[in-house]
Structure 1
């Protein structure tokens, strides 16, 4: 009887492990609907909230180009008090959103990542004038950390939807490698956009990039899947990004 119980527990452990693996979203377990992602150019106004007063600090321009084999996303951040823009480019496969390329250029650092059997590229710290050659081996599937906010828009969202997403991020000051982003909750609600009430998916997320100290909330239009608003809560700090159209 003891052997039977031990064997049953062993099988149960395997089953639990497989279930856990199935729940982790990645290019190999990808329920995203590519038809919901459109080629588009959008602008979001970025505000810092202080004592309930919104102070504009910049604009975020996002260009999405959907091709036959790949999707290219170029994000340009224009800050009011910065002499140069922050430009991020991400390329993923159309079929399963597998990462192909990522680059990021700003005043503090430049970074380029090429995704293949190895992750190669470089990281240039402009403050210390030090350049690091990147060569990372990863044996598990993942999305590019810069793509997962777009992935949220095309998931099969519903009330109570919660998932963990496998992502790769390269940040010498935080973490390097495969980490996770978590959809903590999803619910239907309304938000005011251009003076009109819109029915939206309210998706609350956190991730290991911030060591789960930041909560990021996305308000996604239910009919168009456009991102209407994004809120970032980091302790006492709060920021809001709103779609201009």
Structure 2
């Protein structure tokens, strides 16, 4: 999912990266994971994706997330349908139930194909369809990390509270941006209310950024405190803004 957002930002243009500020020393990883794994359950959710322009919400696509939780593994399939794209964008992720250690990740869209197998080495391939080039991947990593496609789900299960912040170790492969173990940052968390389908819900408002976009893009999640559903996600990049809202 994070990669799909980055692809869209590149398509839209005017994307000028800046360098991130110093992050907290201790990062969350599978070896240092305070998440409540019981908060991730089998479910299917759908969100409508909007571009905000001159205070108008213009629908640009939909995003469906299927989560299947089994005894030892969690399977996540994210399907994005964009109005301007003739093909679906599909990301698949497999992680271990215990500690969310990554096992597999694949991403298929009109611009690229990517498959990653996680182990002592991260192996797979990256096919740039526009350039017509295929790169074999073999990345040795010496630290513990999550799959970059999984960390939005991880945030839902963290011990969120007023003022909560931390960094998260993630692995991302994008030759046009970052390759290897990088950081996602929970900048701040606040308790607030959000009106969803005409009813006020108590939510955690979690503001995040990551090294995938050199911390230019800010994603803000509105997470229901009782169900841990992501009711809304705001994506801010420069003067531009996108919003995804849960369909219920």
TM-score after normalising by structure 2: 0.90
CA distance in 1, matches of 2:25, 2:239: 36
The answer on whether the counterparts of 2:24 and 2:166 sit within 8 Å (CA) in structure 1 is no
The answer on whether the counterparts of 1:22 and 1:29 sit within 8 Å (CA) in structure 2 is no
Aligned to 1:103: 106
* 3-state SS, counterpart of residue 135 of structure 1: strand
CA distance in 2, matches of 1:135, 1:37: 30
> Are residue 239 (structure 1) and residue 242 (structure 2) matched?
yes
* Greater relative CO (CA pairs within 8 A, separation 6+): 2
Aligned to 1:134: 137
* 3-state SS, counterpart of residue 154 of structure 2: helix
Aligned to 1:196: 199
Shift in Å, 1:22 = 7.5
Aligned to 2:232: 229
CA distance in 2, matches of 1:116, 1:51: 47
Aligned to 1:5: none
The 5-angstrom pairing of residues 54-203 of structure 1 reads: 54-203=57-206
Q: Which has the larger radius of gyration?
A: 1
Shift in Å, 1:192 = 1.2
- Going from structure 1 to structure 2, the CA distance change for 1:142 and 1:56 (only over 3 Å counts) comes to same
CA distance in 2, matches of 1:118, 1:198: 43
Q: 2:30 aligns with which of 27, 30, 51?
A: 27
**Structure 2 unmatched runs, 5+:** 1-22
CA distance in 2, matches of 1:35, 1:22: 27
The answer on whether the counterparts of 2:24 and 2:167 sit within 8 Å (CA) in structure 1 is no
CA distance in 2, matches of 1:40, 1:138: 32
- Going from structure 1 to structure 2, the CA distance change for 1:244 and 1:111 (only over 3 Å counts) comes to same
**Structure 1 unmatched runs, 5+:** 1-19
CA distance in 1, matches of 2:123, 2:182: 18
Shift >4 Å, 4+ stretches: none
CA offset digits 1:6-43 (Å, max 9, x no partner): xxxxxxxxxxxxxx997210000001111111100000
Shift in Å, 1:47 = 0.2
CA distance in 2, matches of 1:214, 1:228: 19
Count how many residue pairs are aligned between Structure 1 and Structure 2: 226
Shift in Å, 1:118 = 0.6
The answer on whether the counterparts of 1:104 and 1:110 sit within 8 Å (CA) in structure 2 is yes
